[in-house]
Amino acid sequence: MTTLQTLADSLKNCQRCKLAKLGRSQVVFGVGNPNASIMFVGEAPGFHEDKQGEPFVGAAGKLLTDLLQSAGLSRAEVYIANVIKCRPPNNRDPEQDEVETCKPFLMQQIEMIQPKLVCTLGNWATQTILEKKVGITKVRAQAFRQEKFVVFPLLHPAAALHQGNLLETLRQDFKKLKEYLDRMTAPPEAGPTPLASSHPMPPEPPQIQMDLFGA
């Protein structure tokens, strides 16, 4: 059976797209808890990630760590990856053929980790996971149920660093994430037995069970 480590090893010298020959130092696979209930997905490695081989280790990574703590999370308990595993030159946006080449490996990571919640950071990750051309400002801090997990889009920390006016918005996004996690892990409230009705009520939306953090 393929494991995360086996998949990572198979990609160490990946030559499947042109990024292999455009100055990358190494493939940046992902890091964190392989049994995480929450996974964060960014766009692509930057300069520091390319050098160290881990996603989100530069200034954006430090900000992400702080934001995780504000939501009651730590890097050790989540898993962090990117859509693209190699740094695009000059930190340019990924190109469509690069996304299509790398996406299957991201989806394999998700399949192996089996998170309950996938937090997408920025436009590229959000559009790749939702498979829709949506702008992050339209869908941020909202929950979208997929077949096997819930997607919770967030602004990308790097965008907030580049545009200081977005920093408070990003903090509010993580506040909403914490509120969402608190709701989903709270025990159900006991209430009176409902009376029978001739008008059927619409079914309640499915909710994440109490094992959100692997409990």
The CA distances from residue 170 to 46, 127, 153, 174, 186, in Å, are 20, 18, 11, 6, 24
Helix 59-70 / helix 167-185 crossing angle, nearest 10 deg: 40
Non-local CB neighbours of 40 within 8 Å, separated by 6+ positions: 56, 64, 78, 79, 80, 81, 118, 119, 121
Q: Give 147-175 pLDDT, tens digit per residue.
A: 999 999 999 999 999 998 999 999 999 99
Mean pLDDT of 172-194: 81
CATH of the domain at 118: 3.40.470.10
Instruction: With respect to residue 197, please indicate whether it lies within any of the assigned structural domains.
Output: no
Instruction: With respect to residue 142, please indicate whether it lies within any of the assigned structural domains.
Output: yes
What pLDDT score does 189 carry? 66
Parent domain of 56? 28-185
Q: Give 47-76 pLDDT, tens digit per residue.
A: 999 999 999 999 999 999 999 999 999 999
Instruction: With respect to residue 88, please indicate whether it lies within any of the assigned structural domains.
Output: yes
Contact between residue 123 and residue 137 where contact means Cβ atoms under 8 Å apart: no
Instruction: With respect to residue 191, please indicate whether it lies within any of the assigned structural domains.
Output: no
Instruction: With respect to residue 212, please indicate whether it lies within any of the assigned structural domains.
Output: no
Mean pLDDT of 176-193: 80
- How far is 79 from 89, CA to CA, in rounded Å? 25
b/e burial code for range 33-72 (CB count within 10 A of at least 16 → b): beebbbbbbbbbbbebbbebebbbbbebbebbbebbeebe
What pLDDT score does 196 carry? 36
Instruction: With respect to residue 102, please indicate whether it lies within any of the assigned structural domains.
Output: yes
Instruction: With respect to residue 173, please indicate whether it lies within any of the assigned structural domains.
Output: yes
What pLDDT score does 191 carry? 55
Domain tally, the chain: 1
What pLDDT score does 192 carry? 52
Mean pLDDT of 29-42: 97
Instruction: With respect to residue 4, please indicate whether it lies within any of the assigned structural domains.
Output: no
Across the beta sheet with 31-32, the strand order is 31-32, 79-82, 38-42, 117-120, 150-151, 144-145
Tokens 């010298």 sit on residue? 13
Tokens 């892990």 sit on residue? 185
Q: Is the pLDDT of residue 188 over 80?
A: no
